[in-house]
Amino acid sequence: MKIAIMGAMREEIDPILATVGEYSTTEYAGNIFYECSYAGHECVIAYSKIGKVFSAITASVMIERFGATHLLFSGVAGGISKELKIGDLIMASELCQHDVDIVAFGHPYGFIPEGSVMIETDGNLRSLASEVAVDMGIELYEGIIATGDQFVASSERKEWIAKTFNADALEMEGASVACVCHNFGIPFFVLRAISDSADGSADIDFDTFLQSSAQVSATFILEMVKRLGD
C-alpha cells in the first residue's frame, strides 16, 4: 500500500511534513513530491497549487509515476451549510463541479457527457474516518462538497450552489481529484476543515483561519494513515 496525501496549498501540507520528519524530494511535472515512511506505510505527499487543472495533474502523477494505491486529500473549504463553523471537519460523501455549465444542451449543472454530476468517495475510507473521529472525540460532518475554479465570497453564489447541488461546503480541487481517482480505480477520501463560513465574510475569514484549519485537517488525515490496513 502506498498512500498519496494531497493538499492544494503549501499551508495544507506543512503540518504533515513537519510530523513525518524525514523525506526525500522529487521534482516532476512542475511540482515537488515528498516521499517518506510513516506508520509503516510508504507515502507520497504534495500540494498541487490551487484549482482543478493543477490538482488533476498532481493526482495523476501520484498514481501513475509514484504508484499510489490510495489517495487522501487534506485541506480547507468554505462552509455553505449553516451547521458548519470555522474549524469544523467535513468529509465528502460525494463531490461535484459547480462551475460546469452546459445547460444549453439540456444537461443539468455540473454534468459532463459520459460522466456524472456526483462522484462518490470510498466507503471504507469514510468508515475509517468515522472511527477515527469517535476515538479522537471530534465531530465529523459528512456531506456533499462542491468544487469550482472560483473563490466564492458571495453569499448569493453560495446559496445557489447549496440549492442546486445540495452542497455543504465548497473548494477548488476535490472534484477534479475525484475524477482522476475514479477513472484510475483508486480509493480516495476528501477531508476539509472549514476556514470561512456561509455568512459572506469569506474574504476576511480565509487568511485568518487558513493555518489553524489546515492543521486540524492534517492531524486527522495522519491518524487515518496510522490505521490504514489494520
Quickly list H helices, 28-101. 52-64
The catalytically annotated residue of 88, 168, 171, 196 is 196
Q: What is the Rg, in whole angstroms, of the alpha carbon atoms belonging to the chain?
A: 16
Cell numbers 452542497 correspond to what residue?
Answer: 167
Q: Residue 195 has which C-alpha cell?
A: 476556514
Q: Residue 51 has which C-alpha cell?
A: 484549482
Active site residue 12: yes
The catalytically annotated residue of 12, 122, 168, 205 is 12
Q: What is d(CA 54, CA 120) in angstroms, rounded to the nearest whole number? A: 21
The values of phi and psi at residue 172, to 5°, are -125, 10
| Cβ neighbours, 10 Å, residue 66 | 17
CA nearest to 35, candidates 3, 12, 1: 3
Q: What is d(CA 214, CA 225) in angstroms, rounded to the nearest whole number? A: 17
CA nearest to 92, candidates 193, 216, 220, 215: 193
CA distances from 93 to 68, 110, 178, 208, 210 (A): 21, 16, 11, 27, 23
Q: Residue 219 has which C-alpha cell?
A: 492531524
Tell me the three state secondary structure of residue 81: coil
Tell me the three state secondary structure of residue 129: helix
Q: What amino acid positions are annotated as catalytic residues?
A: 12, 196
